[in-house]
């Protein structure tokens, strides 16, 4: 029997790459996102099923829960939906941008966990275990100038994951945090900078081999395919060129002769 994974934020980037990799490994996958056209295309490509839902909407998440309950147990929840908006200081940052980041990065994850844990428990009873995997960021562990609201929301999401792990102690449900650094996807920086393509491209300019979505997807799928007694509490994944959010090598990587 194939196990079933649900991936939020599945319409692009890390979410779409994770759906593709789960399907390639033989999993049943329910892809969830706001953009129906992209979900349909991904389903046609991979054979995944899809459900249109915005994790910032109580009604959408309630409908998602009902759909999952009707269509069978769940073995893996991947909380991938998230985003960054702006790169302003704490003093001058937009309260609306901060609100949007907390809504999707923190409350969106909380909604999904609350709604889908019953289905994960049924899956754990059936298969011997289940997993909650949440994609946070190194921004949830290390502050940086301009991080402001994104740092705050991702630190909060990291705390949410840590508390959930404590609360589920004694149940056969692993709680995994994947914290990527610089990942070059088609939308993350573009959204952060309000559609300014030149500014988004500059983030990755001259950086040798930033991560791509498939690198993070590999860590997500690997974490849930390990033996059931092994839990990767926290996986931090960065390109070699990045030492910290604020320290990134530009140009080719070379061995120092000093």
- State both tokens at 141: 């562990």
SS3 166: helix
Say whether 150 is catalytic: yes
Query: Which one of the listed residues 144, 150, 204, 246 is annotated catalytic?
Result: 150
Backbone angles phi, psi at 84, to 5 degrees: -120, 140
- State both tokens at 104: 């999707």
CA distance 194 to 185: 15
Do 124 and 171 meet the contact criterion of CB atoms below 8 Å apart? yes
Query: Please, is 152 exposed, middle or buried when counting C-beta atoms within 10 Å of its C-beta (0-12, 13-18, 19+)?
Result: buried
- Triad 98, 133, 204: Cα angle to 5°: 55
SS3 25: coil
Catalytic residue set: 150
């Amino acid at each position: 029997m194939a196990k079933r994974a649900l991936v939020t934020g599945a319409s692009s980037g890390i979410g779409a790459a994770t759906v593709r990799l789960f399907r390639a490994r033989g999993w049943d996958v329910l892809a969830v996102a706001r953009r129906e056209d992209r979900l349909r295309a991904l389903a046609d490509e991979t054979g995944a099923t899809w459900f249109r839902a915005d994790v910032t909407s109580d009604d959408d998440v309630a409908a998602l829960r009902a759909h999952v309950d009707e269509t069978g147990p769940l073995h893996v929840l991947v909380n991938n939906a998230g985003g960054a908006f702006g790169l302003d200081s704490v003093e001058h940052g937009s309260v609306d941008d901060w609100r949007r980041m907390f809504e999707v990065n923190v409350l969106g994850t909380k909604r999904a966990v609350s709604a889908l844990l019953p289905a994960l428990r049924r899956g754990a009873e059936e298969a011997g275990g289940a997993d909650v995997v949440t994609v946070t960021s190194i921004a949830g562990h290390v502050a940086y100038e301009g991080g402001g609201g994104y740092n705050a929301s991702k630190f909060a999401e990291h705390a949410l994951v840590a508390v959930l792990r404590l609360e589920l102690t004694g149940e056969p449900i692993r709680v995994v945090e994947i914290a990527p650094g610089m990942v070059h996807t088609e939308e993350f920086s573009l959204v952060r900078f309000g559609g300014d393509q030149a500014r988004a491209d500059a983030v990755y300019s001259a950086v040798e081999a930033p991560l791509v979505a498939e690198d993070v997807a590999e860590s997500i799928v690997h974490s849930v395919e390990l033996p059931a007694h092994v839990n990767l509490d926290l996986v931090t994944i960065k390109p070699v060129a990045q030492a910290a959010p604020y320290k990134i090598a530009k140009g080719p990587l070379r061995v120092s002769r000093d």
